[in-house]
Structure 1
Amino acid sequence: MKKVLIFENEYPYVQAAFEYVRDIYFEGQIEYTVLANSQDLKPFSKIEEFDYVFVDISLGQYSSMDGFGILKKIESDNLEVKTVVILTGNHLIEQVLIERGIKNSYPILSKPIDFKDLLRLFR
């Protein structure tokens, strides 16, 4: 069973792609945990328990950290996460990541999510 954490404050807009991939290609063998706010993961180090972590760069106003903050925390705390994927609607995100001091290179999944792109990340 793959364990997937999704930081996304507007999950209903991406839900269909995630559920389709889980149900059709993995016979339900993916367990999704969806959090709308970064502070909902306590302690934050629990992030290491997940096989995949999808991070919406622009989490809502009620999140204590946006996606950039989550990525920086993963890096600064040296947390071991198998796969981190950026969720974004910003097609110029790579430059913004550099400007924000994000050191690692992460796969980027553009919204709206095409299930084929999502499927490639899980394989």
Structure 2
Amino acid sequence: MRSGEKKDFLGQLLMEHVSARDEIRNLAGAVNYIYHGKKAKKKIIKIARAYIKFMDKHIRMEEKVLFPWMNKVLTIDEQMSLITKFEAMEKEDIEAGVHEKYTAMIERLEEQLGVCSE
């Protein structure tokens, strides 16, 4: 990947992260109206499905382009340092119950909406 392409690609990924946070804010705002009838529930479902589709595409791009590129430009020591930091963050999240919190939240929302992700 050339320097200009790298900048464009990294800029695109950063903008996607900003867009993802915006979508989560939209979803959170819509959830506030969950008891306002079927129209509100349909809006929540539409936003959630769009977010899932967006994130699936984004993650595939990271796996297909970003991670292989990082493996080429980072030394083994830098890669290991990054992995260690990610593992530490994941451990903190697990110990803080972050995964369980969001799983429970999604399950409650699915129940309220009358949908199931499985």
Q: Place the TM-score, normalised by the shorter chain, in its bin.
A: under 0.3
TM-score (norm 2): 0.24
Greater helix share, structure number: 2
Structure with bigger gyration radius:
2
Higher strand share: 1
